[in-house]
Amino acid sequence: MAFKPLHDRVLVRRVESDEKTSGGLIIPDSAKEKPAEGLVVSVGEGARKDSGELIEMAVSAGDKILFGKWSGTEVTVDGEELLIMKESDILGILEESAAAKAA
Protein backbone atom coordinates (compact mmCIF):
# COMPACT_ATOMS: atom_id res chain seq x y z
CA MET A 1 0.00 0.00 0.00
CA ALA A 2 1.39 3.38 -0.96
CA PHE A 3 0.90 6.29 1.43
CA LYS A 4 1.06 9.96 0.43
CA PRO A 5 0.83 12.57 3.19
CA LEU A 6 -1.53 15.51 2.77
CA HIS A 7 -0.76 19.23 2.84
CA ASP A 8 2.50 20.08 4.66
CA ARG A 9 3.05 16.67 6.22
CA VAL A 10 6.05 14.38 5.69
CA LEU A 11 6.41 10.58 6.02
CA VAL A 12 9.76 9.72 7.65
CA ARG A 13 11.69 6.49 8.28
CA ARG A 14 13.93 6.72 11.36
CA VAL A 15 17.63 6.11 10.76
CA GLU A 16 19.19 3.99 13.49
CA SER A 17 22.24 5.46 15.21
CA ASP A 18 25.48 3.67 16.03
CA GLU A 19 25.36 1.07 18.78
CA LYS A 20 28.81 2.06 20.06
CA THR A 21 30.10 5.27 21.62
CA SER A 22 33.20 7.00 20.24
CA GLY A 23 35.14 5.27 23.05
CA GLY A 24 33.97 1.83 21.90
CA LEU A 25 31.34 1.14 24.57
CA ILE A 26 28.32 -0.79 23.32
CA ILE A 27 25.00 0.87 24.15
CA PRO A 28 22.27 -1.61 25.15
CA ASP A 29 18.83 -1.28 23.53
CA SER A 30 17.24 -0.33 26.86
CA ALA A 31 19.53 2.73 27.19
CA LYS A 32 19.26 3.95 23.60
CA GLU A 33 17.12 6.93 22.74
CA LYS A 34 15.01 6.93 19.61
CA PRO A 35 17.01 8.52 16.83
CA ALA A 36 16.20 12.08 15.79
CA GLU A 37 17.49 11.44 12.26
CA GLY A 38 15.36 10.17 9.47
CA LEU A 39 14.96 9.64 5.77
CA VAL A 40 12.03 11.31 4.02
CA VAL A 41 9.88 8.65 2.36
CA SER A 42 7.24 10.94 0.83
CA VAL A 43 5.90 14.47 1.16
CA GLY A 44 2.57 16.20 0.70
CA GLU A 45 1.97 18.91 -1.86
CA GLY A 46 2.56 21.75 0.62
CA ALA A 47 0.59 24.20 2.71
CA ARG A 48 -1.74 26.83 1.30
CA LYS A 49 -1.83 30.52 2.11
CA ASP A 50 -5.16 32.20 2.92
CA SER A 51 -5.23 33.34 -0.70
CA GLY A 52 -5.08 29.70 -1.86
CA GLU A 53 -1.53 29.99 -3.19
CA LEU A 54 0.54 26.83 -2.67
CA ILE A 55 3.68 27.04 -0.51
CA GLU A 56 6.12 24.42 -1.85
CA MET A 57 7.78 21.94 0.49
CA ALA A 58 11.44 22.54 1.39
CA VAL A 59 12.14 18.81 1.73
CA SER A 60 11.69 16.04 -0.80
CA ALA A 61 11.72 12.24 -0.79
CA GLY A 62 15.21 10.89 -0.13
CA ASP A 63 16.39 13.82 2.04
CA LYS A 64 18.13 12.90 5.31
CA ILE A 65 16.73 15.12 8.06
CA LEU A 66 16.97 16.00 11.75
CA PHE A 67 13.79 16.43 13.75
CA GLY A 68 12.80 17.14 17.34
CA LYS A 69 12.82 14.37 19.93
CA TRP A 70 9.04 14.33 20.39
CA SER A 71 8.09 15.20 16.79
CA GLY A 72 5.60 13.32 14.71
CA THR A 73 3.05 10.58 15.12
CA GLU A 74 4.15 6.95 14.89
CA VAL A 75 2.26 4.88 12.32
CA THR A 76 2.69 1.43 10.82
CA VAL A 77 2.53 1.19 7.03
CA ASP A 78 3.03 -2.24 5.43
CA GLY A 79 4.46 -3.57 8.70
CA GLU A 80 7.09 -0.81 8.93
CA GLU A 81 7.11 1.78 11.72
CA LEU A 82 7.23 5.30 10.27
CA LEU A 83 6.56 8.84 11.45
CA ILE A 84 4.17 11.43 10.06
CA MET A 85 5.11 14.99 10.97
CA LYS A 86 4.53 18.52 9.82
CA GLU A 87 7.29 20.10 7.81
CA SER A 88 7.71 22.72 10.55
CA ASP A 89 8.81 19.93 12.97
CA ILE A 90 11.89 19.30 10.80
CA LEU A 91 14.97 21.07 12.14
CA GLY A 92 17.11 20.75 9.02
CA ILE A 93 18.41 18.68 6.14
CA LEU A 94 21.68 16.76 6.57
CA GLU A 95 23.91 17.14 3.54
CA GLU A 96 26.90 14.93 2.83
CA SER A 97 30.25 16.69 2.70
CA ALA A 98 32.37 16.48 -0.45
CA ALA A 99 34.87 14.21 1.37
CA ALA A 100 32.12 11.76 2.36
CA LYS A 101 30.77 11.65 -1.20
CA ALA A 102 34.24 10.88 -2.60
CA ALA A 103 34.78 7.99 -0.15
| Helix (H) / strand (E) containing 82 | strand 80-86
Instruction: Please say whether the beta carbons of 2 and 80 come within 8 A.
Output: no
CA angle centred on 69, ends 33 and 76, rounded to 5°: 80
Q: What percent of the chain is helix, strand and coil (3-state, nearest 5)?
A: 10, 40, 50
What value does the mean pLDDT of the chain take?
A: 81
Q: What is the pLDDT of residues 42-52, one digit of tens each?
A: 999 988 889 98
The count of residues in the chain is 103
Q: Alpha helix (H) ranges present in 1-103?
A: 98-102
What does the pLDDT profile of the chain (103 residues) look like in tens digits? 678 888 889 999 988 765 555 666 666 655 555 668 899 999 999 888 899 899 898 999 999 999 988 888 899 888 889 999 999 899 999 887 655 555 5
Instruction: Give percent of the chain above pLDDT 70.
Output: 74
Whole-number pLDDT of residue 84: 93
pTM, full prediction: 0.73
Instruction: Please say whether the beta carbons of 30 and 46 come within 8 A.
Output: no
